Chains A and B, each alone.
Chain A
């Protein structure tokens, strides 16, 4: 603790010039400058953990609002702000970027791309989850399918490329990931029969460097897991930001559901590489290994949830691990060097699998597939976990996640592919109401064993932030924002923000003061002592 406090002071002393640029090296060593939040999940390992300790267990009860920023056009805020050297970069729905002075809360520039009124967005609201920063540029993906680079000084467009045609229902909601000289993005659209991919772009020019499809074409390994021509509309969106291991130089990207969602009859086979994690060589996009969580998914259980990287000893052997609370209600631990499956532990209610076998393949409960008159199954269609960020604390060794405990009635229907139209083959009705609930859970990161839980009134969309001050921050669908004790889950502070908490929390510091930022309803709230 005291060493971290020293670190905090040391970092503040090393005052950076305001014009300092965010380099790949700075992102790589993001843990050295906890006053900033330089990449979507805080670091390449996606810990969403802050090493700042000024706000801590002892004093968090005194947290107060420092400032509030109101977005200018109503919409759902599902974003993680970034903070670099006193400036916050916030995205507002659908694809606006605003730079804000973190001392005053005043906007200093804002950029709104031209979004045609008839864009095709099937499968999610028009949201954006944040920007990437690299070498003086700010990168944003848009709901119209573009990737745009803005000048960090004033928000002017440096380049603007079409990732893929929105008339075919491709669109972007994720925060891009900045690596050395490259910007990596994925796409949304698997509810409309797209063929998913991961792209890398030259950070300076916007030239595409490589594209790796999540659904292999004819002649490529994995194509045999698709009956007939079904691979062509196979889905496998890549719609959430991946993680990166700079030492192994491996990029981990996750993939979503096969298309059509609920009618699996038309795509017999395992449907690789949907509902999977892919380990890619960032130089070429070449696939190094893959692991499929839910083969031949028929419940829309994307595997896009954030994958968290950390090292630990398992059975006496030091391991480089990759873990995920999958939408299918299991917590997976993989070896991230080889993709070897190590364990899976159920963390939320599920009715579809008897268990996971030694190779990581689910042992199915018969009769859980959607039917024309509806089949009740758990977890719900939005999963026990979804896009909201989990958090990993190296201090407690715990993996924090807000589980969704809800059932869904899954319907199988017809699937007819028309470009740019919904291609889902059925439907799903969630069982909301007083029976469903949510829970912030702390799992032992190496085993998935439940350490504590803090129940929530409803299954919501809260991301979590852990801090070295011994805290976990999260929110509720009803607008509560909470600070829990990271060791015990005990409530230490709460406030009511007046709108569902869908934003992704971060922590940063300026002028020697630590802040926590969270969006709820139509506003971003910043708290300090």
Chain B
């Protein structure tokens, strides 16, 4: 189970399992520098408060890997302090909480230390993964570099935003990893791409993904990419199919090893520079 950006109750339980599973598999390459006391204290804070999004040891999950020598928003210590203290507005990186000066120093030390951890190489081959991606029809629903269908989210930069464990889960268990909204309003953690079924008074059934919702209305894009604006009082049924996805589980069509290739390909998608 990969926890989601704003953990739901379900995901929170899953997180416990994930953490338990990960402690069995701590992978700290022999080459990484010995952690200082600050790094150790920062690691503990990170485990409790950041790893649900950034993954175990910051290896990336729903949120980007921090095991990178140069971070996009936090290229130096001063900007790293600001990012951890205030979050990144409108980008899904919250101000997790207020820190004491000591805690902030420890988190900064730990994230800097993560930057020196050499990234674990992925087992698959991106070139082979790209062939698999085209063969099983992922592109019918996903745009990569301007090409592809629009039912699912664009994947052009998916390797920069998500970690490999999350990508694996997205393929084998699509309903568990719905992308989350990042805007402050409504932005209260609504799943994006939540499948919904609405039935109008006239008996017409509309199945698609929720684009937005307020108390009175809902906006849906159906499987043919048609847009529907509906007033709830005019519906006889509105089901939110939480825990499901319009993305099919295609892992049965993959030969052994092909899942690794696919993940390596997705991880290589870093977007336009």
Contact = CB atoms under 8 A, between A and B. Distances in A.
Contacts of A446: none
A481 to B, nearest CB: 10
Given A432-B6, A433-B190, A424 B97 contact: yes
B97 A494 contact: no
Contacts of A413: 45, 100, 103
Given A372-B48, A433-B191, A434-B191, A458 B99 contact: no
B9 A477 contact: no
Contact of A478 (B48, B101, B102, B186): B186
B185 A428 contact: no
A106 interface: no
B49 A476 contact: no
A3 to B, nearest CB: 35
A479 B213 CA distance: 10
B69 to A, nearest CB: 29
Contact of A432 (B45, B48, B98, B189): B189
B100 A477 contact: no
Interface in B151-193: 185-186, 188-191
B216 A427 contact: no
Given A421-B101, A422-B100, A496-B214, A431 B186 contact: no
Dominant SS at the A interface? loop
Contacts of B186: 457-458, 477-478, 500
Contact of B189 (A411, A433, A499): A433
A494 B4 CA distance: 33
A232 B7 CA distance: 37
Contacts of B213: 457, 478
Nearest to B210: A434
Contacts of A480: 214-216
Nearest to A494: B216
A492 interface: no
B99 to A, nearest CB: 7
Given A457-B213, A480-B214, A494-B215, A416 B100 contact: yes
A435 B10 CA distance: 10
Interface in A380-430: 407, 409, 411, 413-416, 418, 421-424, 426-429
A434 B196 CA distance: 13
Contact of A418 (B12, B45, B100, B240): B100
A414 B8 CA distance: 26
A478 B183 CA distance: 12
Contacts of A476: 214-215
B79 interface: no
B185 A422 contact: no
A362 interface: no
Interface string A67-109: 0000000000000000000000000000000000000000000
Given A416-B102, A458-B186, A477-B188, A431 B214 contact: no
B12 A434 contact: no
Interface string B207-248: 000000111110000000000000000000000101000000
B136 interface: no
A337 interface: no
A122 B98 contact: yes
Contacts of A456: 215
B101 A431 contact: no
Interface in B1-34: 4, 6-9, 12
Interface in A238-296: none
A424 B217 CA distance: 40
B88 interface: no
Contacts of B189: 432-434, 436
Contacts of A436: 188-189
Contacts of B240: 434
A421 B185 CA distance: 29
SS class of chain B's interface: helix, strand, loop or mixed? Answer: loop
A394 B108 CA distance: 56
Interface string B60-95: 000000000000000000000000000000000000
Interface string B125-158: 0000000000000000000000000000000000
Contact of B215 (A376, A427, A482): A482
A40 B215 CA distance: 28
Given A374-B48, A424-B97, A478-B185, A434 B8 contact: yes
A511 interface: no
B116 to A, nearest CB: 26
Q: Which of B7, B49, B103: most chain A CB closer than 10 A? A: B49
Given A480-B215, A499-B185, A424 B98 contact: yes
A372 B49 CA distance: 10
B194 interface: yes
Contact of B48 (A373, A416, A494): A373
B96 interface: yes
A437 to B, nearest CB: 10
Interface string A364-384: 000000001110100000000
A199 interface: no
B197 to A, nearest CB: 15
A426 B188 CA distance: 22
A123 to B, nearest CB: 8
A156 to B, nearest CB: 36
Nearest to A425: B100
Nearest to B242: A434
A521 B185 CA distance: 9
A191 interface: yes
Contacts of B4: 433
B132 to A, nearest CB: 33
Contacts of B215: 456-457, 476, 478, 480, 482, 494
A374 B49 CA distance: 9
Contacts of B49: 411, 427, 429
A350 to B, nearest CB: 16
A407 B189 CA distance: 13
Contact of A414 (B9, B48, B102): B102
A121 to B, nearest CB: 11
A479 B12 CA distance: 29
A196 B49 CA distance: 30
Contact of B100 (A407, A415, A494, A500): A415
Contacts of B190: 433-434
Interface of A: 122, 191, 372-374, 376, 407, 409, 411, 413-416, 418, 421-424, 426-429, 431-436, 456-459, 476-480, 482, 494, 496, 499-500, 521
28 contacts: A376-B9, A407-B9, A409-B12, A413-B103, A414-B100, A418-B101, A422-B100, A426-B97, A427-B49, A427-B96, A428-B97, A429-B96, A431-B6, A432-B6, A434-B190, A434-B242, A457-B213, A457-B214, A476-B214, A477-B185, A477-B188, A478-B186, A479-B214, A480-B214, A494-B215, A496-B214, A500-B186, A521-B185
Q: 10 tightest CB-CB pairs across the interface, nearest first?
A: A427-B97, A432-B189, A422-B98, A478-B214, A433-B189, A432-B188, A480-B215, A458-B188, A478-B186, A433-B8
Given A416-B102, A434-B8, A496-B214, 14 more contacts: A376-B9, A407-B9, A434-B191, A435-B9, A436-B188, A456-B215, A457-B186, A457-B215, A458-B186, A458-B188, A479-B185, A482-B215, A494-B215, A500-B186
